[in-house]
Structure 1
Amino acid sequence: MPRLDERYHYHHGLKAGENTLGANLVRVLMRSVITHGSYDPDTFLEDFISYMTTPGENRDPYCEIYIRAWFENYTQGVAPELCAEKQRANWSIGSHGGLIRPLVLSLLAKEPYKGLGVALTHQQLTHRSENIASALGVLVPLLHALVQGEEPMKTVSRYAKKVRLIKIRGDELTKTYHDYQGPGNIPKEAMWKMHTDFSDENLDVERILENYPDGEIIGKFFSTACYPEHGLPLLLCLMQRNRGDFRASLLANTNAGGDNVHRGMILGLLAGAAAAEIPEELKRGLSDHTGIEKEIKAFVKLI
């Protein structure tokens, strides 16, 4: 059995406490807003390009497909604001990574109506995805409600009911991928339908938690992959199961596996907004705790 630090994964090589590329790009966004006193899409894109093309800035070996596709378009002379790939052209564009920065940025707005507009505008710079936009339609007002101090469990339950369940999910999705010997062999139109064909059933977290043990909810009922049509219901169930407890919710997400890094960042935003405080030892476990704390405080002053 290899030691923990020898086990290979997407972010292999990062040490405990170091940020993934996704988290560092949130910092790029915050610094862009802080430096200029407000959000400007063109300025962010300049900072994004600078960060991604400066040697030594990023230690994370995993670069999401949206970034690879974005720079493929950019190197062919496409204008930066038009470089985002479409989900219909590449199914992996609709992933959790497209939710994180827009969610953070939405907090610059005083209320969720405008916040959603801000979030969707930013999303389109890197992810042209219907699934991400749909998830933001629930997550932005939910995050704002939690920040405003609404009771967490009732609020999560209320907004969860706005989420439609995807038809093919959990074990059925896994079997479909297996039958095709990998998602890359699934015809484009079939893949599009598989990830965008929603049922008439809304997410009822209380009913699911009452009728299914965690072992069935995780993986069997909802896939642990990177797609928000699966990850959003799962993370809301994890938060509700753990009564909004920050540490317990994030630990449950970690143990769920799959795309637990990006899914965990979204869950962390929600659980952090609901929590009275975040455990100090978790914050100090970050390699650049001081720098991150400084950036967050400067960003919050602009809200």
Structure 2
Amino acid sequence: MYHVLPRISLFTMCEVRRAVAEALWGMCAADAMSMPVHWYYNTRDIRRDFSGWIRGLRAPRDTHPSSILSLSSTAGSGRSGSSAAAASVVGNVILQDKLRFWTDPRRSVHYHQGLPAGANTLNTLCALRAACVLSAGAVSADDPGARAAVLSDYVQFMTRPGSHNDTYAESFHRSFFSDWQELRPTSPGQVLEFAERRSKRMLNASRADGQLNAIGCLPMAIPFVLLSAAANQEEAVCAAVQLVKLTHPHPALEPLLALYARALHATLNGACLKQQAETALRSPALDAWDECQPFIQRAERFPGSSEERLKVHQSAVESLGLACYTKGALSSLFYLAYSFHNDVTEGILTNTNCGGENCNRGAALGALLGARAAYLGSVVPQDWKNELLDAQEPIADILRDLNQSTSV
């Protein structure tokens, strides 16, 4: 197991394990719930395309009302024409059978077309694989060996034809494999060495790749916190930060990632999520508490789960950060965590119906809400768990490894 065992009681260990389990379920449920309306920036489109607000796991439509998939670079980060890479990685290195959807002349292809209801998006699939690797390992999650094992598995998964059925891979995947394709390292040591060299070069560059400063950095980092739940908080934060430096080498990310990792670690260990969210929103890194106050107060005027209250939350997320950029997305995430600290079900549904970058924001929010639910005598709804197509087997494997270990 990739973490260090401190001296904790058996009772506390059981509580933390339950929190880790519900965090995994929450991460996967929130991602799958949002998948059909991922990047719906006009919430009216959600109601129109799904005959009302999303209240359960649904499949996406083939087309998307505001898709810019056709504008995305197939050769690297960002938009078409923005990458210096000559060869396309989409169709050649990753997403081997999906290039035709990126170049479809209709220019309205859904990012996750073809996925069934209850399926997870690529980033959460990668997170589940990282958690499986970590739970089966034998050193601390902040050890280089853990990062080497996770990244080697990531390379094998992403480059193996038919390993998943998602259509979209965001900029960090395309950038990573644009650089990887020259030497194509595969062993854990080789992949880690490549990733560390690449990270150092990109972090020292005169101009950072702004596409990497995105909330999509969180899903693969979440398992490093979950599997460090019994370690001290700084070990958990360090483990998450060191991984993200390799997948998302952007200088602005460390304080934002550390903020989330601390909140998740504390929540896994029984801390009040409402207080953790307020602390994050008040932090210098976000400084969003004052902006949240009018929305918090307005939402309280309406009944819970009412459409009027949902509209307030939609306005809040639009104001705080609807897109993928990390600071705004984290502000929205912690606003929703504060508002739904004791209601994992409505928190996940509201995140979905706020639209925008709701999958990666949702995965990170769902982990927090799930972890807290375990201490409130609540859980992610069982019918959602039963309908998650990609998560059930990996989570069962992870929990089996946890139950067989002497830690978390």
TM-score class, shorter-chain normalisation, is 0.7 to 0.9
CA contact (8 A) 1:29 1:101 kept: yes
Cα offset for 1:13?
Answer: 1.6
Please list, as runs of the form range in 1=range in 2, the aligned pairs for 1:1-303 lying within 5 A after superposition: 5-8=61-64, 9-38=110-139, 39=141, 40-77=146-183, 79-84=194-199, 88-109=207-228, 110-165=231-286, 201-204=287-290, 205-206=292-293, 208-210=295-297, 213-219=312-318, 221-275=319-373, 276-298=378-400, 300=402, 301=405, 303=408
Cα offset for 1:70?
Answer: 0.6
What is the CA–CA distance in structure 1 between the aligned matches of 2:62 and 2:267, rounded to whole Å? 38
Letter in 1 for 2:61: D
Cα offset for 1:289?
Answer: 4.5
| RCO higher in structure (CA 8 A, sep ≥6) | 2
CA contact (8 A) 1:138 1:163 kept: no
CA contact (8 A) 2:208 2:250 kept: no
- Higher mean alpha-carbon deviation, 91-100 vs 130-139, is at 130-139
Letter in 2 for 1:125: L
| Identity fraction in percent | 25
- Relative to structure 1, the CA distance from residue 18 to residue 83 in structure 2 (aligned partners, 3 Å threshold; closer, same or farther) is farther
What is the CA–CA distance in structure 2 between the aligned matches of 1:151 and 1:121, rounded to whole Å? 27
CA contact (8 A) 2:341 2:369 kept: no
Q: What 5-or-longer segments of structure 1 have no aligned partner? A: 166-200
CA contact (8 A) 2:236 2:261 kept: yes
Normalised by the size of structure 2, how large is the TM-score? 0.60
What is the CA–CA distance in structure 1 between the aligned matches of 2:328 and 2:263, rounded to whole Å? 18
What is the CA–CA distance in structure 2 between the aligned matches of 1:295 and 1:129, rounded to whole Å? 33
| Corresponding residue of 1:181 | none
CA contact (8 A) 2:347 2:369 kept: yes
CA contact (8 A) 1:42 1:81 kept: no
CA contact (8 A) 2:213 2:248 kept: yes
Runs of 4+ displaced beyond 6 Å:
none
Cα offset for 1:55?
Answer: 0.7
Kindly name which structure, 1 or 2, has the bigger radius of gyration based on alpha carbons. Answer: 2
SS state at 2:176 partner: helix
What is the CA–CA distance in structure 2 between the aligned matches of 1:208 and 1:161, rounded to whole Å? 15
- Relative to structure 1, the CA distance from residue 241 to residue 53 in structure 2 (aligned partners, 3 Å threshold; closer, same or farther) is same
| CA displacement 1:236-260 (0-9 Å, x = unmatched) | 1122223431111111111111111
Provide the aligned C-alpha RMSD in A. 2.4
Letter in 1 for 2:172: Y
Equivalent pairs counted in the alignment come to: 267
What is the CA–CA distance in structure 1 between the aligned matches of 2:195 and 2:317, rounded to whole Å? 38
Cα offset for 1:202?
Answer: 4.7
What is the CA–CA distance in structure 1 between the aligned matches of 2:261 and 2:270, rounded to whole Å? 15
CA contact (8 A) 1:82 1:125 kept: no
CA contact (8 A) 2:221 2:244 kept: yes
SS state at 2:208 partner: coil
- Relative to structure 1, the CA distance from residue 141 to residue 254 in structure 2 (aligned partners, 3 Å threshold; closer, same or farther) is same
- Relative to structure 1, the CA distance from residue 155 to residue 41 in structure 2 (aligned partners, 3 Å threshold; closer, same or farther) is closer
